[in-house]
Amino acid sequence: MIARILGTTAMVTGLMAAVPAAAETTLHLLHINDLHSRIQPINRFDSTCNAEDDAAGECFGGVARIATAVADLRAELEGQNVLFLDAGDQFQGSAMFTTYSGAAAAEFMNAMGVDVMASGNHEWNLGPAGFASFIDMVEFPVISGNVDVSQEPAIEGRLQDHVVLDVDGVQVGIISALAVDTAETSSPGDNVIFSDEIEGLQADVDALTEAGVGIIIALTHVGWQDDVRIAEAVTGLDLIVGGHSHTLFSNTDEGATNPYPLMVANPDGIEVPIVQAYAYSKYLGHLEATFDDEGNLVSATGDTILLDASVTPDETIAARVAELAEPIEEAMSEVVGETADFIEGDRSVCRVEECPMGNLVADAMLERVADQGITIAIQNGGGLRASIDGGETTMGEVLTVLPFQNTLATFQLTGAGIVEALENGVSEVEEVAGRFPQVSGMRYTWNPSAEPGSRIVSVEVAEGDGFAPIDPEAVYGVVSNNYMRGGGDGYDIFETDATDVYDFGPGLEQVVAEYISANSPYAPYTDGRISTAE
């Protein structure tokens, strides 16, 4: 039996006398992170699964499969201590979110029996009031220990600092931290104050330890590399369940970034396990953690579980998902703006030269993040999948152009790195490859007759009312999409050399729809930003 006995640091001095952990206390931690509104099953591209994908056995995840997997494990582990944790970012990423905001996520999280959720940065996308509405709908605590909401009336008193659970007489503290750049990557407003993750976590660990809580788990949304940094710096922390970086930890999947769990030594030399379960509902993590009678971690084993066709979706939840999905067709008919003329987006054009759709998308990307010091946009032509007719433009048309649910990715890169990226982009034009770079905030000339790798003739970046040659040594702010930033379409330089990376901005389709709306009637154009020279 699990009971909540504490929700805020301010109450810690009034905590009931701690009950020592029984010898060999074992917790089974089931965990998810970064679902990003993938309520319906996804395909291998992390987009909504269709009938063709289903027939090929290539549908994964979805809340109905998560519900089955969690229920089956709870039944299998009946009588044992099971906690179901969510490391944040239920918001943003599919038409379900566009249509229902956080209401659908709240409904299904309640149905699945989540015990505790950490705030992700995207939970703030609708502002404090939007996040507060979600918290009011869920039946479990939502926590974030390094976020001060006391000056924001819309959410004050709702977002807890941490929670302590009574698990069959054993007190288990769940603390949390959220990436401090959420103020830039989302919309918390000026009244929500972020503090250092490590300082916040250490303060919570110290307070709970002093109160006699022997088992302390960090449920974080900072990314696995910062989780490593936390484990190395914070004393008294038993384990970390993380999110934000969309990282697969696995002992069986060859594509995994880290083993499950990843063990990192803290300042006292004690090994702290870190786990994460990729993203988009594709995996469920299961960590079995055993503690001695003093609350010290003895062992931590487990793995992520692929939620593929072998997992039968919960029938009741699947039926409800289908019901909610039905009116999305109507939502896709929403008119987002007007275009003055046909916008060319055919692959035969956008994968070999400057095209009007490429300019539209790249310009929209750059305008969305220009206030963050970003000056260059690069979008792969293969990410543009259709043209748009002149006249009224619907959200469905925008999604047809941009069907992959990519998100904006911002980073810093040297001028030399940008030139290398452009060389990759024009390296397979003969094959009409999708890597061809559509750009904004810059212009370039390339030679199609030269050998791949030596085709870029000149690159200039916007400067004032004109352009100046790119400086190979200078560092520029760049916006792309998360697929390219992760090395997709051969853009390895974005993965290996980019700094100050953030891959999970707003959905690209939403950015473009809002740009069309703001500039309606939008007039498509080309301006010679991409040219060829023999």
pLDDT tens digits along 349-359: 999 999 999 99
Confidence of residue 185 (pLDDT cuts 50, 70, 90): low
Which segment of 22-36, 63-77, 409-423 scores lowest on mean pLDDT? Answer: 22-36
Which segment of 37-41, 90-94, 272-276, 510-514 scores lowest on mean pLDDT? Answer: 90-94
One-character DSSP codes across 133-150: HHHHH-SS-EE-TTEE-T
Confidence of residue 423 (pLDDT cuts 50, 70, 90): very high
Q: What angle do CA 407, 413, 414 make, to 5 degrees?
A: 160
246-258 burial: b if 16+ Cβ within 10 Å, else e: bbbbbeeeeebeb
Q: How much is the pLDDT for 11?
A: 31
Average pLDDT over residues 20-43: 85
* 295, 325, 355 - which closes a domain: 325
201-246 pLDDT, tens digit each: 999 999 999 999 999 999 999 999 999 999 999 999 999 999 998 8
- State whether 301 and 340 are in the same domain: no
- State whether 238 and 367 are in the same domain: no
- State whether 33 and 119 are in the same domain: yes
One-character DSSP codes across 188-228: --TT-EE--HHHHHHHHHHHHHHTT--EEEEEEES-HHHHH
Within-domain flag for 330? no
Range of the domain at 510: 335-532
Higher local confidence (pLDDT), 7 or 478? 478
Question: What average pLDDT does the chain have?
Answer: 91
- State whether 371 and 308 are in the same domain: no
Q: Max CA-CA distance within the chain?
A: 80
Q: Is the dihedral of CA 36, 32, 275, 47 positive or negative?
A: negative
CATH number of the domain encompassing residue 305: 3.60.21.10
Within-domain flag for 57? yes
361-405 pLDDT, tens digit each: 999 999 999 999 999 999 999 888 788 989 999 887 898 788 777
* 296, 325, 354 - which closes a domain: 325
- State whether 286 and 396 are in the same domain: no
- State whether 257 and 403 are in the same domain: no
Location of structure tokens 């590399």: 225
- State whether 382 and 249 are in the same domain: no
- State whether 354 and 316 are in the same domain: no
Higher local confidence (pLDDT), 268 or 486? 268
Share of the chain above pLDDT 70, in %: 95
Average pLDDT over residues 469-481: 98
Average pLDDT over residues 308-320: 96
Confidence of residue 2 (pLDDT cuts 50, 70, 90): low
Within-domain flag for 125? yes
- State whether 303 and 420 are in the same domain: no
- State whether 317 and 365 are in the same domain: no
pLDDT at residue 313 greater than cutoff 90 = yes
Q: How much is the pLDDT for 444?
A: 98
Q: Nearest Cα to 512, choosing from 407, 371, 392?
A: 407
Within-domain flag for 103? yes
Which segment of 275-284, 329-338, 511-520 scores lowest on mean pLDDT? Answer: 329-338
The highest-confidence range among 124-128, 328-332, 418-422, by mean pLDDT, is 418-422
pLDDT at residue 108 greater than cutoff 80 = yes
The highest-confidence range among 44-58, 130-144, 161-175, by mean pLDDT, is 130-144
CATH number of the domain encompassing residue 363: 3.90.780.10
Q: How much is the pLDDT for 5?
A: 47
- State whether 202 and 271 are in the same domain: yes
Which segment of 16-30, 149-163, 182-196, 325-339 scores lowest on mean pLDDT? Answer: 16-30
Q: How much is the pLDDT for 329?
A: 75
| Alpha carbon distances (Å) from 247 to 10, 139, 250, 280 | 34, 27, 10, 11
* 290, 325, 360 - which closes a domain: 325
- One-letter amino acid identity for 329? E
Within-domain flag for 75? yes
pTM of the model: 0.72
For residues 410 and 377, give the distance between their C-alpha atoms in angstroms, rounded to a whole number.
Answer: 9
pLDDT at residue 53 greater than cutoff 90 = no
Contact 151, 190 (CB under 8 A): no
In total, how many domains does the chain have?
A: 2
| Alpha carbon distances (Å) from 268 to 239, 272, 279 | 14, 11, 32
